Amino acid sequence: MGVAVQEKSFRFVRKVGGISEYTLKKNGLQILHKRESAAPVVAVCVTFHVGSRNEAKGHTGSTHILEHLLFKDSKNFNRANGNAITDYLEWFGAYLNATTWLDRTNYFELLPREHFEKALALEADRMRDSLFSDADLQSEMPVVRNEYERTRNNPFELLDEEVMAKAFIKHPYHIPTIGTKEDIEGSDEKKLREFYDTFYWPNNATLSVFGDVAWKEVAAAVVKYFGAIPRAPRAIPRMSVVEPVQKETQNITLTKPLGISIAMVGYKIPSATHRDYPALLMLGTILGGGFSSRLQKALVDRGLAAEISVSVPALHDPGLMVITAHIAEGATPKKVLETLEREIQAFKKEGPTKEELARAKERLLSQFAFERDGVFSEIRAVSESIAAGDWALGFKLESAITKMTLAPLKSVAKKYLNSSQKTVGTLTP
Amino acid sequence: MYLEKIKEKKFSTGARVMVTPFATHDTVSFVGSIKGGSCYARSDEFAKVHAAMLLEGTKKKSKHDIQILLDSIGASLTFAPSTERLIFSGRVRQKHFEALLSLIAEILESPSFPSKELGILKSRGQASLALEAQDTHEQATIALTRLLFTPKHPNWSESTLESKKVLKKITAKELQKYHQKTIDSGSLILSVSGDVVPVKIFSLVEKHFKNLPRQKGTLFSYSKKLPHTAQRTTTPIKEKTNIDYMAGINTGITKVHSDYIPLLLGIQILGVPGFSGRLMNTVREKEGLTYGVYSYLSGFQYGADGYISIWSGFPKEKFAQGRAAILREINSIVKNGPSKEEVRRHCERFTASYKVRLSNSGAFAASVHELAAEKRPLSYIDEFPKQVSKLTEAKVTAMLKKYLIPAKLSEAAAGPVEKDAFAS
């Protein structure tokens, strides 16, 4: 493809961190490309800007079930042709899969560079020409049910679901991505087809291609496979539910005779693109990241918890920072929660030390560097940033963290780690 | 193709260091190991506690000092036992690699095993074992290895209850004694990959590991375990929603045996993780009985004779049907063998996916480390896919018939399973 044709077909948008963004003029498909020749492989990822947050009441789990059905036949990749989506690319050495989450659905492949076009051909085909049928849905339902049961087999996931359900009352984040059992059982092909026809369009997707392939080759393949797909005939619906302001601490207690105890505390936090998010990410690291965090010392090193973790999810809408403690033998959730509260109050009062700030910076900057070890890891991280609303989010966070000072950390702790924004969950035998 | 990128230095002690520059922009990944692991410790739990206690302090540094140092350099570092080696692995930015290497050397050379920290670690360990006790996958795996192997074999697993008892009794003195007796600089293997210059790494290893003690001790030895009569066991855990099912059979061979590669391909044709194995194609895709169903060659690390394992998970009501479907597919592939076309396609898949597997510095460092720990020539990193590409349908079928004997397949299930679930 000549330079003139490239210019005619694509609009260059920006370049950040070695990643170039283009738009396919014909249908609005967003394309991210990064040339990386460390290994003779290419990673491909199509991120649809639709996740379980876009599901209507009564149809929870649809995004996830649809993701499963997109591994059934499509117009040019199907069992009758002998090139079924499930295994076609694996014959060329690809690793492929797909995942559904709150804000996005992504389909991805990592494959030898000489086969990268095949991944684009397949992804373009199933973007609009999936042939899934009611028979496919019926045959896939036991698989989805089994995935649902496997999720509920994990006590941490079980409690996490309950904490999210208690923390959010109106926003779709209160339902787990996999959906409710009733909705999963009640899903039908017609509704799923409607969902597909609403959200699976090039102007609601980002195609990322990172690896040992030049833009010229990528551009030619994008035009060849995605060029004929039309833009969505109607505007893509935007989810506009706003969670009401929480006014008091919420509590949830689960009793399961599994011989283990877990304590979980969630605090409402803003979206990943909010100006306070970088400070919250650092706050999470100081509280529970790495080897020397405050909660590691207060809970794990004192024998109150076997393990702790703090997650500060980068979400599209305001979400939940979640602190999880697996209670150690001889300790109780009550004691752990009291200690945790003391640590939070101390942080709010005194803020972090200079040394803590420096260590958290080093840890987070190292994590960003590690994410770029291999194109597959990098493309998955960028997919999460896309879901949060800005594919360059990772680079912006890196820059913000490099410049971070002590004051914003104390300030966000005071602003967000409050009892009125808190949800506490425990699981005990 | 890959071999020329790996630079190796053998030290007079017998230690080996392999360095592979990899364009990873500032990241260094490493996997190292030294003699140790559950075989030498004579207990899985003892070996785990020994590894975990290494981060609890040295003669010069307290636990706090170690934690602060690791966070100051943003490093990840874990010590974990395998059957016959103590593995240490992690990642760090290039500018901090020397600091991390120096810490690892100090930890191996002079750990302090503080009693106070051991007490805390034990209470945490009991909670982790409680978690293990309700983990259906873990319980099915432990149960299967206990059906297939005997206690002195590296692939035999301690039960959770046994681990709890061992954990209660471990003392700091025992850990110190075990460490002094086992750790041998001559057995050190380190594979580093990423943004590195080989000569610099070699000199850093020489500088920091020079005081690591040598030992004369003998290597662990055991008898290979051949297939025996099929046995079945269930571990009921009522509160769970999913049953983990494992089936397996001993092979009596190690990775260096000439049957290993054709058997590996045969087992991958049956159930390679992904979608292209027969089990996923039939039991999941056609019959919708499970979310995942795969087969593996397991327990072959570091020279052990391993076993064939088949794993899946089912809700209680699908268990009998799912198990029957798996056994049917096993019987079919053993009786009829894979087709010529299947073998050809899987050979191509395997060789192409090899590039994909080695596409980041961590995976590359781990692969090189594994070759060295198994005492194979590093050239095997290029030879392995070539050998797979030469396989024939006849050879693969013969290996499946020889090793995957349905009548000798043992089975284990854990979760909401009836005690007599295998009666039918």
Cα distances (angstroms) measured from residue A23 to each of A20, A44, B78, B179: 10, 16, 43, 60
The span from the CA of A46 to the CA of A209, in Å, is 9
Mean pLDDT of A270-279: 98
User: How far does chain A reach from its first CA to its final CA, in angstroms?
Assistant: 64
* pLDDT at residue A136 in the model: 93
Residue A71 has pLDDT above 70, yes or no: yes
Q: Is B419 exposed, middle or buried (0-12, 13-18, 19+ CB in 10 A)?
A: exposed
Cβ atoms of A241 and A172 within 8 Å: the answer is yes
The b/e string for A242-252 (b: 16+ C-beta within 10 A; e otherwise) is: ebeebeeebeb
In chain A, the percentage of residues whose pLDDT exceeds 90 is 91
Residue in B24, B67, B355 nearest the CB of A93: B355
Q: Who has greater pLDDT, B107 or B41?
A: B107
Please tell me whether residues B10 and B65 are part of one structural domain.
yes
Residue B184 has pLDDT above 80, yes or no: yes
Cβ atoms of A406 and A286 within 8 Å: the answer is no
Cβ within 8 Å, pair A146-B348: no
pLDDT digits (tens, 9 = 90+) for B260-316: 999 999 999 999 999 899 999 999 988 989 999 999 999 998 788 999 999 999 989
Cβ within 8 Å, pair B361-A373: yes
List of chain B residues whose C-beta atoms are within 8 Å of the C-beta of residue A375:
359
Q: How confident is the model at residue B83 (pLDDT cuts 50, 70, 90)?
A: confident
Interface test with B, best of A96, A153, A395 (most B CBs within 10 A): A153
pLDDT digits (tens, 9 = 90+) for A80-132: 999 999 889 999 999 999 999 999 999 999 999 999 999 999 999 999 999 99
The span from the CA of A47 to the CA of A67, in Å, is 12
* pLDDT at residue B306 in the model: 95
Please tell me whether residues B198 and B253 are part of one structural domain.
no
Residue A1 has pLDDT above 70, yes or no: no
Q: Helices B319-336 and B393-403 sit at what angle, rounded to 10 degrees?
A: 130
Cβ within 8 Å, pair B64-A292: yes
Please tell me whether residues B15 and B53 are part of one structural domain.
yes
| DSSP letter (8 states) at residue A130 | B
Domain with B254 in it: what CATH number?
A: 3.30.830.10
Tell me which of B209, B243, B278 is where a domain ends. Answer: B209
From A98, which residue of chain B is nearest by alpha-carbon distance? B274
Cβ within 8 Å, pair A376-B239: no
Mean pLDDT of A274-292: 97
Q: Which residue has the tokens 């290494």?
A: B54
pTM for this one? 0.94
List of chain B residues whose C-beta atoms are within 8 Å of the C-beta of residue A258:
130, 134, 239
Kindly report the nearest CA distance between residue A38 and chain B, in angstroms: 5
Is B334 a member of any domain? Answer: yes
Residues pairing with A111 in the sheet: A42
The span from the CA of B177 to the CA of B183, in Å, is 10
Looking at the structure of chain B, the number of domains it has is 2
List of chain A residues whose C-beta atoms are within 8 Å of the C-beta of residue B352:
92-94, 111-112, 115
Which tokens go with B340?
């010529």
Q: How confident is the model at residue A331 (pLDDT cuts 50, 70, 90)?
A: very high
Please tell me whether residues B195 and B329 are part of one structural domain.
no
The span from the CA of A173 to the CA of A161, in Å, is 10
Residue in A112, A290, A370 nearest the CB of B352: A112
Which tokens go with B23?
């364009």
Residue in B275, B313, B352 nearest the CB of A92: B352
What average pLDDT is seen over chain B? 94
Cβ atoms of B202 and B231 within 8 Å: the answer is no
Is B420 a member of any domain? Answer: no
Cβ within 8 Å, pair B315-A146: yes
Cβ within 8 Å, pair A41-B359: yes
Tell me which of B178, B209, B240 is where a domain ends. Answer: B209
Cβ within 8 Å, pair A153-B415: yes
Please tell me whether residues B283 and B356 are part of one structural domain.
yes
Q: How confident is the model at residue B176 (pLDDT cuts 50, 70, 90)?
A: very high
Residue A334: CB partners within 8 Å, gap ≥ 6? none
Cβ within 8 Å, pair A112-B286: no
The alpha-helical segments, DSSP class H, found in B339-392 are 340-357, 361-373, 380-389
List of chain B residues whose C-beta atoms are within 8 Å of the C-beta of residue A369:
25-27, 93
Please tell me whether residues B181 and B276 are part of one structural domain.
no
Cα distances (angstroms) measured from residue A140 to each of A69, A333, A372, B285: 8, 40, 35, 8
The span from the CA of B273 to the CA of B259, in Å, is 21
pLDDT digits (tens, 9 = 90+) for A4-27: 667 789 999 999 999 999 999 999
| DSSP letter (8 states) at residue B424 | -
pLDDT digits (tens, 9 = 90+) for B236-250: 998 888 999 999 999
Cβ within 8 Å, pair B71-A112: no
Kindly report the nearest CA distance between residue B286 and chain A, in angstroms: 7
Largest CA-CA distance found in chain B, in angstroms, rounded: 64
List of chain B residues whose C-beta atoms are within 8 Å of the C-beta of residue A358:
72
From B131, which residue of chain A is nearest by alpha-carbon distance? A260
Cα distances (angstroms) measured from residue B108 to each of B58, B105, B133, B176, B388: 9, 5, 31, 11, 38
Q: How confident is the model at residue B100 (pLDDT cuts 50, 70, 90)?
A: very high
Mean pLDDT of B111-118: 97
Long-range interactions of A14-23: CB distance < 8 A, separation 24+: A14/A392, A16/A392, A16/A395, A17/A392, A17/A394, A17/A395, A19/A210, A19/A382, A19/A391, A19/A392, A20/A215, A21/A391, A22/A219
* pLDDT at residue B152 in the model: 83
Mean pLDDT of A225-239: 96
Residue in A36, A146, A355 nearest the CB of B314: A146
Mean pLDDT of A341-353: 98
Cβ atoms of B146 and B414 within 8 Å: the answer is no
Residue in B134, B290, B362 nearest the CB of A146: B290
Q: Who has greater pLDDT, B217 or A360?
A: A360
Q: Who has greater pLDDT, A56 or B258?
A: B258
Please tell me whether residues B256 and B203 are part of one structural domain.
no
pLDDT digits (tens, 9 = 90+) for A372-393: 999 999 999 999 999 999 999 9
Residue B213: CB partners within 8 Å, gap ≥ 6? B109, B180, B183, B184, B185
List of chain B residues whose C-beta atoms are within 8 Å of the C-beta of residue A38:
22-24, 359
Cβ within 8 Å, pair B27-A305: no
Domain range enclosing B288: 232-415
Is B267 a member of any domain? Answer: yes
Is B286 a member of any domain? Answer: yes
Kindly report the nearest CA distance between residue A235 and chain B, in angstroms: 35
Is B144 a member of any domain? Answer: yes
From B269, which residue of chain A is nearest by alpha-carbon distance? A91
Please tell me whether residues B116 and B166 are part of one structural domain.
yes
Residue in A86, A145, A377 nearest the CB of B275: A86
* pLDDT at residue A149 in the model: 85
Cβ within 8 Å, pair B276-A363: no
Cβ atoms of A342 and B54 within 8 Å: the answer is no
Kindly report the nearest CA distance between residue B216 and chain A, in angstroms: 35
ipTM, 2 decimals?
Answer: 0.93
Comparing A1-15, A232-246, A250-264, A363-377, the range with the smallest average pLDDT is A1-15
Mean pLDDT of B127-154: 94
Please tell me whether residues B192 and B250 are part of one structural domain.
no
In chain B, the percentage of residues whose pLDDT exceeds 70 is 99
Kindly report the nearest CA distance between residue A104 and chain B, in angstroms: 21
Cβ within 8 Å, pair B274-A147: no
Residue B119 has pLDDT above 70, yes or no: yes
What average pLDDT is seen over chain A? 95
* pLDDT at residue A5 in the model: 67
Please tell me whether residues B125 and B158 are part of one structural domain.
yes
* pLDDT at residue B345 in the model: 94
* pLDDT at residue A229 in the model: 98
The span from the CA of A126 to the CA of B9, in Å, is 50
Which tokens go with B151?
């206690």
Cβ within 8 Å, pair B71-A95: no
Phi, psi of A47, rounded to the nearest 5 degrees? -105, 115
Separation of CA A178 from chain center: 14
Please tell me whether residues B381 and B296 are part of one structural domain.
yes
From A308, which residue of chain B is nearest by alpha-carbon distance? B124
One-letter amino acid at A198 equals T
Residues pairing with B8 in the sheet: B18
Is B322 a member of any domain? Answer: yes
From B357, which residue of chain A is nearest by alpha-carbon distance? A95
List of chain B residues whose C-beta atoms are within 8 Å of the C-beta of residue A153:
136, 240-242, 415
Please tell me whether residues B196 and B308 are part of one structural domain.
no
Kindly report the nearest CA distance between residue B413 and chain A, in angstroms: 15
pLDDT digits (tens, 9 = 90+) for B361-414: 999 999 999 999 988 999 999 999 999 999 999 999 999 999 999 999 999 999
Cβ within 8 Å, pair B355-A141: no
Separation of CA A236 from chain center: 20
Is B49 a member of any domain? Answer: yes
Cβ within 8 Å, pair B124-A259: no
List of chain A residues whose C-beta atoms are within 8 Å of the C-beta of residue B350:
93
> What domains can be seen in chain A, in order of their start residue?
3-226 (3.30.830.10), 250-428 (3.30.830.10)
Residue in B71, B242, B274 nearest the CB of A150: B242
Is B21 a member of any domain? Answer: yes
